[in-house]
Structure 1
Amino acid sequence: MSKPKVYMVDPYYQDAIDLLQSNSSVESIIYTDPRKSNWQEDADALLIRSETRLGEAEFSKAKKLKAVVKQGVGIDNVNLEDAKKYGIAVANTPGLNSEAVAELTLGLALSISRRLSEFDRRIRSGEKIVRSKALGKSLYGKTLGVIGMGNIGKVIAKKWIGAMEGKVIGYDPIAPEWKDIPHTRVQQMDELLKESDVVTLHVPLTPQTKHMIGEKEMALMKKDAILINAARGGVVDEAALLKALQEDKLGGAGLDAMDYEPPTMSAYGDGLLKCENVIMTPHIGGSTIENQVRSGLASVETVLALLEGKDVPGRIV
């Protein structure tokens, strides 16, 4: 009897490739193999990342597909209703990228408040910086607003308290309580927006969260507040954000997730990238060597378990 075929259609870290190829119970086709484009013919399982999008068009042509595993948390590139329709299990790797995303969140907030990227650009352009006119703003003792109180939100709250000795306000209508973190949980997001010096988003992109931070919400924020989106593009209304920044109604924005990824000059050069107090990164929140190893190995272990009919913690469908 032929072995189940697992197609790794997107790039994974080498440790994950080695683990998959070392398993004698499956036949593995990795992303460098030209055969990967024909996965719909005989794939029993897929290992994907954000680059691959799956829905009705793809699932309807898949002759043997039983399981899809997405490395990372976000699963908006897979149509879950279509997967369910065709009886295909879908899983991700939750809880593994929390430290990495929290690190980037803190780094973006500090870089904006201390104007690090701005000064670096000005120095590289040949400008002589006058220190007395190069004042940043300290985040010590300030208030962090966390929208989305899941794994990532919890970790950044801990880091904020430890590094900044500041206050934390949390908002999430679904997530369980944080029992071991000093914080104030509000029932209305508006309360958080009014009180926070830094607002950080850690929610999935759903019809309910699309443009959850728009013109109305930004108008509630402090004039010098910093907005961080290390979640998903679409959660922030970018046109409203640009308007708020141009009118000096916000202190700055750090965006690791945006409508167009990766961000380019053609998409943002005449808008957000003209703002000195904006930092854009190409959705690299989870892109550390350590996290890629952990989540890649977890993805392979998950897909093998699904093929064996076992329950996995990251199963969504």
Structure 2
Amino acid sequence: MSNYLVAVTDSGFPDLEQEKRILKPLGFTFATGQCKTAEEVAELCRDADAVLTQWAPVTAEAIEKFTKCKVIVRYGIGVDNVDLEAAKRRDIPVVNVPDYAVQEVADHTLSLMLAIVRKIPQVVQRVRDGIWEISPCRPIIGLQEKTIGVAGFGNIAKAVLHRAQAFGMKAIGYDPFVNEEAFARLGVEKVDWDTLLSRSDILTVHMPLTKETKHVFNENAFKTMKSTSFLVNTSRGGTIDTEALINALRNGEIAGAALDVLEQEPIAPDSPLLKMDNSIVTSHCAWYSESSLLRLQEYAALEIKRLFSGEPLLHVVNGVGK
């Protein structure tokens, strides 16, 4: 049996039994850490044949010190913590796990939408305070015939639209990388960026964080949106300029925002977003359910198994070995 080493730079899982069940029969042993710095990543992963990482900084400096690494797998969808170009220079494929929590994130997106539109947290608090009103926190809008807009048209956005259409909502979407036919197949109208902003009653964000998408929701974007519209973000916090959002909420440029992701996490205890009635913040937990947790670990380990069993990798994000 071959002897391989897999280094787990860090993780928030209760244990690594899923990974061990899949990889130990192939001859893998495990080196585990909770790396916070590139130096710690370099030290742990120096002689690893494969790397599993969640949040640790897998930087160019760390990757340069890897001597045997054949694959880097990110636990999750985004790969912000891995230097993709540095891995490419070393001919190391970087792989993500895009399909482990599609339904959970879609569920959470709809939950946030309903909570912010129906003003659920405020109503609950009023009832707890002894205030019983049958038309509280006016105005509250109905969803039927309202327009939901998606920024990005990947698997999660599609799952969100599938749910939203059950509420009788009209759907529009923006994604420069997807053709009109793909939108039309789901009954969604493809629109340009300004149209997405100006027509959406609820605008939900499903974009990766790139140079092009950083702060794409900025002062100008909020001025283009309807004053009655709501913004929901379960993708990447950096797509929204936080200060511009706070100002837009204060000035009534949009009606509300519901966020599971933020530029700075955890959110600062004194953030105005925590004090505003027209803002809801959850703790980057849209991905989580007990079953998605297990799927994430399993799917990540299966990518390593594929490579070392001579099978093609499913989800390479830096173009190596495709």
Q: Does 1:148 align with 2:148?
A: no
1:17–1:30: 8 Å Cα contact kept in structure 2? no
CA distance in 2, matches of 1:159, 1:213: 24
Q: 1:122 to 1:260 in 2, by over 3 A?
A: farther
- After the TM superposition, which parts of structure 1 deviate over 6 Å for at least 4 consecutive aligned residues? none
1:144–1:199: 8 Å Cα contact kept in structure 2? yes
Normalised TM-score (structure 2): 0.88
Q: 1:174 matched to which residue of 2? A: 177
Residue number among 73, 96, 103 corresponding to 1:99 in the alignment: 103
How far has the Cα of 1:306 moved from its partner?
Answer: 2.2
**Cα distance per residue 1:253-307 (max 9 Å; x no partner):** 01111111122314x2xx2112111111121121112222222211000012223
Normalised TM-score (structure 1): 0.89
CA distance in 1, matches of 2:291, 2:233: 22
Q: 1:305 matched to which residue of 2? A: 306
Residue number among 163, 172, 194 corresponding to 1:159 in the alignment: 163
3-state DSSP of counterpart to 2:239: coil
Aligned CA RMSD, in angstroms, stands at 2.2
Alignment of 1:111-150 (within 5 A): 111-124=115-128, 126=129, 128-135=131-138, 136-150=140-154
How far has the Cα of 1:227 moved from its partner?
Answer: 0.2
| Paired letter, 1:7 | A
2:7–2:45: 8 Å Cα contact kept in structure 1? no
More deviation, 241-250/53-62: 53-62
Q: 1:250 matched to which residue of 2? A: 254
Listed as ranges, the gaps of 5+ residues in structure 2 are none
Q: 1:192 matched to which residue of 2? A: 196
Q: Does 1:68 align with 2:69?
A: no
1:195–1:222: 8 Å Cα contact kept in structure 2? yes
CA distance in 1, matches of 2:145, 2:185: 19
| % identical equivalent positions | 31
Corresponding residue pairs, total: 308
More deviation, 167-176/9-18: 9-18
Listed as ranges, the gaps of 5+ residues in structure 1 are none
Q: 1:4 matched to which residue of 2? A: 4
3-state DSSP of counterpart to 2:46: helix
Q: 1:231 to 1:299 in 2, by over 3 A?
A: same
More deviation, 142-151/78-87: 78-87
How far has the Cα of 1:8 moved from its partner?
Answer: 2.4
1:4–1:43: 8 Å Cα contact kept in structure 2? yes
